[in-house]
Amino acid sequence: MNSSADNDIRAVIDTLKQRASARGETVPALDSVLNLVANGEAEIAIDYLVNTANAFRLPLRQDEYARLLSAAARLDYADGVTDIDPSLLLPDPDDT
């Protein structure tokens, strides 16, 4: 268990939930991902998070992607994050 990695994964999930809510969507799969993190399954949570983002077309800002990648690297699982659809990566607000 890596609490800082878990916290980073939770933070990314929270922003994705907010982004989905702003579109008028509820994505219950994100709650399942949170449960995986809470149960010490952060590596599986990363897979599910990437799959959920891809399936629901939930965009990530570059800083969120970097945070997720950093968390995955701390868990020796960085390869799992690279499956995110590149078209879902948004520039940071400061870059626009």
Rounded to 5 degrees, φ, ψ at 89 are -85, 125
User: Is the backbone of residue 2 left (phi > 0), alpha (psi -120 to 50) or beta?
Assistant: beta
In a domain, 53, yes or no: yes
Q: What is the pLDDT of residue 95?
A: 55
Looking at the domain assignment, is residue 28 inside a domain?
A: yes
Task: Count up the domains in the chain and report the number.
Answer: 1
* Full-model pTM: 0.90
CA atoms of 45 and 10, how far apart (whole Å): 10
Looking at the domain assignment, is residue 95 inside a domain?
A: no
| 40 within some domain | yes
Contact 38, 61 (CB under 8 A): no
Q: CA 35, CA 82: separation in Å to the nearest integer? A: 22
Q: Which domain holds residue 37?
A: 3-82
Per-residue pLDDT of the chain (96 residues; tens, 9 = 90+): 678 999 999 999 999 999 999 999 999 999 999 999 999 999 999 999 999 999 999 999 999 999 999 999 999 988 889 899 999 999 877 654
Q: Which two tokens stand for residue 74?
A: 């701390």
Residue 12 in any domain: the answer is yes
* Amino acid found at 3: S
